[in-house]
Amino acid sequence: MSTRKTILLTGGAGFIGSAVVRYLIQHRDHRVVNVDKLTYAGNLESLEPISDSARYQFAQVDICDATALQELFQIHQPDIVMHLAAESHVDRSIDGPADFVQTNIVGTYTLLEAARAYWNQLAAPQQQQFRFHHISTDEVFGDLTDTKALFHEQTPYAPSSPYSASKASSDHLVRAWQRTYGLPTLVTNCSNNYGPYHFPEKLIPLVILNALEGKPLPVYGDGSQVRDWLFVEDHARALVLVAMEGKVGETYNIGGHNEKSNLEVVQTICGLLDELAPSHPAGIRRYAELITFVKDRPGHDLRYAIDASKIQRELGWMPQESFSSGIRKTVAWYLANKAWCTHIQDGSYQRERLGVG
């Protein structure tokens, strides 16, 4: 009997989604149907290493399009849904929350209904095997004022931004569809991801690319905000493990065991760049000279930290990368992949998708 499964994965052209797709194609034997609207954060260049695989297919579909989703379910007959599609940048959610409500809440509802209609018409054995895995964030929990506390799976929700509130809403919908309709769902909440192919508006790639160009390295407030940093390839392994072996109805927290302040992260990157890219921009001798403290953003949570003991205990997952090893790999990747970065920065990755220029 074949163990190959068909996985319908939303948001597979994004940062975490593309890492999961690459992992599934390069290290597992499953079929992957990548469903992505291709907003500004979706980049098919991140999937070039696996795009020619016979086990990979791409569908440019908005998860708010119920008819298109229904067609995809009927055509591909997935065994597992991995739902990563989401608007995810906090600053953008503050400036324009409507897109976050639409994609993260309405889109999740639409996908749940499409999955439920498909699941209801499956034969009993296929119903038993089907899984809907919803990927969320630790930001739904708010922040931690106790320096020793950790987020666990039962931590009450207290979102602070439009982004985290919309993700919290989507988590609640997924759990309600399991309780009310019996849809076999799983939820994971992760800490801050970093690694190759990260969109340059995020802290780590922004700092790397700004530093190389001699631009200011913006740090909110005094940089004391603490995050638990998770290497994206470690996260991809964990997500596939949960989708395949997690218990229906359960939530699993996924963390990197790497708490660092934002300032410490920026200083670490500067030190690595001093070593790996020693030809400094004109006027500076050390990249850390570019660090610039800027006004803090509204509702900025002070500390996130994940208790990932459940996934370790029940499924045997542990991160393979320390922050030291992961951030070195990340900086080295950006230095070696300047063409990918340039296509993001000059917008050509979007023009090629739209057939412009």
Helices 66-76 + 108-120 axis angle, to 10: 40
How open is the CA angle 39-297-103, to the nearest 5 degrees? 25
User: Nearest-CA neighbor of 163 among 107, 91, 85, 262?
Assistant: 91
Catalytic residue chosen out of the listed positions 45, 79, 138, 234: 138
How open is the CA angle 235-170-29, to the nearest 5 degrees? 40
User: Nearest-CA neighbor of 133 among 240, 6, 26, 24?
Assistant: 240
User: Nearest-CA neighbor of 292 among 353, 354, 207, 169?
Assistant: 207
| Radius of gyration for the alpha carbons in the chain, expressed in angstroms and rounded | 20
Distances in Å between the Cα of 74 and the Cα atoms of 80, 108, 117 are 13, 19, 10
Catalytic, 139? Answer yes
The pairing of beta strand 251-254 with beta strand 31-35: unpaired
Distance CA 106, CA 127 (A): 25
Catalytic, 138? Answer yes
At 113, list the tokens.
């209904």
Catalytic residue chosen out of the listed positions 163, 194, 287, 349: 163
User: Nearest-CA neighbor of 23 among 9, 40, 37, 3?
Assistant: 9
Report which residue type is found at 334: Y
Q: Any idea what DSSP says for residue 4?
A: -
List, in sequence order, the alpha helices (H) in the chain: 15-27, 66-76, 90-95, 98-100, 108-120, 124-129, 162-181, 203-212, 232-245, 262-276, 309-315, 323-336, 338-345, 348-354
At 316, list the tokens.
């045997």
At 141, list the tokens.
């929990």
At 83, list the tokens.
């739902």
CB–CB of 219/166 below 8 Å? no
Catalytic residue chosen out of the listed positions 139, 143, 259, 301: 139
Residues classed as catalytic? 138-139, 163
